[in-house]
Chain A
Amino acid sequence: MTLLSVRSLHVHYFTPQGTVRAVDGADLDVPAGSIVGLVGESGCGKSTFGRALMGVLPSTARVAAGSILFEGRDLVPLAEHERRPLRWRRMAFVPQTAMNALDPVQRLRTQMLEVLCERGGLSRTAALDRAATLLRMVGLDPRVLHDYPHQFSGGMRQRASIALALALDPALVIADEPVTALDVIVQRQVLDVLRDLQHRLNLAMILVTHDMAVVAYACDRVAVMYAGQVVESGPVAAVLEAPFHPYTMGLSHAFPNLRDDAAALVPIEGAPPSLLSPPAGCRFAARCPFAEHACHTQPPPLVEVAQDHLAACWRSTSAQELRALAMQPATWAA
């Protein structure tokens, strides 16, 4: 069952230089109870996408078009007073730096009670009980309720902010780079907490990250974003092992990996296009070693290229051949 279904979402920022099309026609499906990785580079629109889902865009940004179907209801036309009851109760947010979710000068208890009593309508005793349960669920000792977040380590803060997000039993959690600032051991522990919660609570999650290895470790599905659009999506195994979009192919040997013996790493030369005036055709065409004439003039639609696997590439029928070429460093040489 699909819990969240986003179609052709457009989010625009209005700046003195013009309209930045940060998200420009992105599609995403999140089945109930599954973790979907949303990967992409800085500036590709993945964080804006997450914020648009939560309805917490900055004042300079607006959803310009598209639909966000969540539990059978389109959220885009809803007014703020209709969105508010959904936030935290049905969908919750975990930011990259936990300090943005936690107030350093309030005891954790104060903050958890505020959410549980005022928004959740629990009595104080019931709320304290629930707070202790939530903390145990993320692997923290309930005694930390009496402490201030500034006393916590990075891993504890991130666990506490996950516990806070889960307070009102949401169906969907959107986590924006939740492990990026953490050391590998702590990162792994936090990812294990997320996976454990998924199984225990049948929680669905969107994990925004730039790290393909994190996606491979923790996610069931993945959507790859490039320059404001989802260019490929599907089950993690399919997208990683048999990618259809050249950007996904390029990413897989653009950075080192602890196990595979890569003689040479191959960067994708160039940089993503400006979203002030995106190019007419495929947005990756300027960096793509396989681009043909059509790629520069017509934007490729996101279509099914294999069972349950979508990609937006004019050359997807030659994917097998392109994958072989993409393995060779010379292909990517500028």
Chain B
Amino acid sequence: MTMQPVPVIAGEALVKTFRLRHRTVQAVQGVSLAVRAGEALGIVGESGCGKTTTARLLLRLEEPTSGRIRFLGEDITGRHGPALLHFRASAQLVFQNPFDALNPRFTIRRSLSEPLRNFGIPRAEHAGRIEAAMQRVRLLPAAAWLDRRPHELSGGQLQRVVLARALLPGPRLIVADEPVSMLDVSVRAGILNLLRAARDEFGLAAVYISHDLALIRYVCERTVVMYLGRIVEEGPTAALISAPLHPYTKALIAAVPVPHVAQDRAALPILGSLSENAHQGVGCAFRARCPYAVARCGEETPGLRDVGAGRCVACHLAL
């Protein structure tokens, strides 16, 4: 048996409960996942499935109700302030909306030097590092861009700046939450290709959060599908898309349109909508919408079980 390298980031049995005035929301209910160096993991699911909360927990932007977070094997769950500074430099987030992610009053140069200053990189190194980062995201010549302000750049160009900024502190982990959904289709591929190149060049661990399975398929080798705070399926992306095991994954894949006239327009294998069926308690959370549900699905919550070939599924009926 070969030794698996220690994951860059790992979440163990993560639970996050938000207490609102009149109710509690169990956003994440026992999610475990790990991402190794050079690997890209996709998290897909509908809005409200807990995918963004999971990512925020991994980045320590949100305190888990229970569960542990390990960075390079080290438990960083309870850490705060200076004890977390190294992690903050090592784990970077690429935001969905580049128009909001950069201070409109800062020049690009200032936005890029901020993280270098925050993480105590000697001043003498700043110019060189910024130049290299601009080169990496192909905003060349750097001098032509650095003195501009965000309103002078297009969405695609801004997202390149956001990506350059994320790479500047030399991270080990990049989390990208819908990194191209705000961008024009013609420039999306450019950003995805840069993210892929950065991952390969630095052996980064990457987590992509998206509701777009086609995007996930392009950038992630492994994918987890979340439904109402739980992982319902996990596996190599290609296998998961060509032969989904969980009924929810099946519906999700059937719903994605493709740019061809000949395509499946049959009714989706799913009932109702998420909001009407936000079920809690014993049993499978998906059963009210599942066309295959049987009595057992209401009596026993299916656990995530290993079905071989690197695949896991939380369904009593799968295989």
Given A256-B218, A258-B241, A264-B193, A240 contacting B259 (CB threshold 8 A): yes
Minimum distance in angstroms from B163 CB to a CB of chain A: 14
Q: Which of B10-18, B208-216, B290-298 contacts A (4 or more CB under 8 A)?
A: B208-216
Majority SS at the chain B contact face: helix
Given A213-B258, A216-B258, A256-B218, A185 contacting B184 (CB threshold 8 A): no
B275 engages A153 (CB within 8 Å): yes
B253 engages A258 (CB within 8 Å): yes
Q: Does A57 contact B (CB under 8 A)?
A: no
Q: Does B270 contact A (CB under 8 A)?
A: yes
Question: When chains A and B are docked, how far (Å) is the Cα of A192 from the Cα of B256?
Answer: 13
B184 engages A258 (CB within 8 Å): no
A267 engages B273 (CB within 8 Å): no
Kindly supply a per-residue 1/0 record for chain B positions 211-234, scoring 1 wherever the CB is within 8 Å of any chain A CB and 0 otherwise: 111110110000000000000000
Given A183-B47, A251-B186, A267-B193, A216 contacting B259 (CB threshold 8 A): yes
3 A-B pairs closest in CB distance: A265-B189, A267-B190, A217-B257
Q: Which residues does chain B contribute within 8 Å of A155, judged by CB atoms?
A: 273
Q: Does A71 contact B (CB under 8 A)?
A: no
Question: When chains A and B are docked, how far (Å) is the Cα of A266 from the Cα of B257?
Answer: 20
Which of A254-274 touch B at CB < 8 Å?
254-260, 262, 264-269, 271
A254 engages B268 (CB within 8 Å): no
Q: Which residues does chain B contribute within 8 Å of A183, judged by CB atoms?
A: 46-47, 211
Kindly supply a per-residue 1/0 record for chain B positions 47-58, scoring 1 wherever the CB is within 8 Å of any chain A CB and 0 otherwise: 100000000000
Kindly supply a per-residue 1/0 record for chain A positions 280-296, scoring 1 wherever the CB is within 8 Å of any chain B CB and 0 otherwise: 00000000000000000
Can you identify 12 A-B contacts, CB atoms within 8 angstroms? A41-B186, A42-B155, A183-B46, A186-B46, A186-B273, A211-B185, A215-B259, A254-B189, A256-B214, A258-B256, A265-B189, A267-B188
Given A254-B186, A266-B189, A271-B154, A212 contacting B215 (CB threshold 8 A): no
Q: Which residues does chain B contribute within 8 Å of A259, judged by CB atoms?
A: 258, 260
Q: Does B263 contact A (CB under 8 A)?
A: yes
Most buried by A among B185, B211, B268, B274: B185
A188 engages B184 (CB within 8 Å): no
User: Of B189, B217, B251, which is within 8 A of A258 by CB?
Assistant: B217
Q: Does B261 contact A (CB under 8 A)?
A: yes
Q: Does A7 contact B (CB under 8 A)?
A: no
B193 engages A265 (CB within 8 Å): yes
Interface size class of A (residues with CB under 8 A): 35 or more
Given A186-B273, A271-B154, A271-B156, A255 contacting B261 (CB threshold 8 A): no
A residues with a Cβ closer than 8 A to B are 41-42, 153-156, 183-189, 191-192, 210-218, 236-237, 240-241, 250-260, 262, 264-269, 271
Q: Which residues does chain B contribute within 8 Å of A154, judged by CB atoms?
A: 47
From A287, which residue of chain B is reached at the shortest CB distance? B186
Q: Which residues does chain B contribute within 8 Å of A240, judged by CB atoms?
A: 259-261
Minimum distance in angstroms from A239 CB to a CB of chain B: 10
Q: Does B265 contact A (CB under 8 A)?
A: yes
Question: When chains A and B are docked, how far (Å) is the Cα of A252 from the Cα of B260?
Answer: 10
Minimum distance in angstroms from A317 CB to a CB of chain B: 25
User: Of A41, A184, A213, which is within 8 A of B184 by CB?
Assistant: A41
Q: Does B252 contact A (CB under 8 A)?
A: yes
A153 engages B186 (CB within 8 Å): no
Q: Which residues does chain A contribute within 8 Å of B211, judged by CB atoms?
A: 183-184
Q: Which residues does chain B contribute within 8 Å of A188, judged by CB atoms?
A: 254-255, 257, 268
Q: Which residues does chain A contribute within 8 Å of B241, judged by CB atoms?
A: 258
Kindly supply a per-residue 1/0 record for chain B positions 271-286, scoring 1 wherever the CB is within 8 Å of any chain A CB and 0 otherwise: 0011100000000000
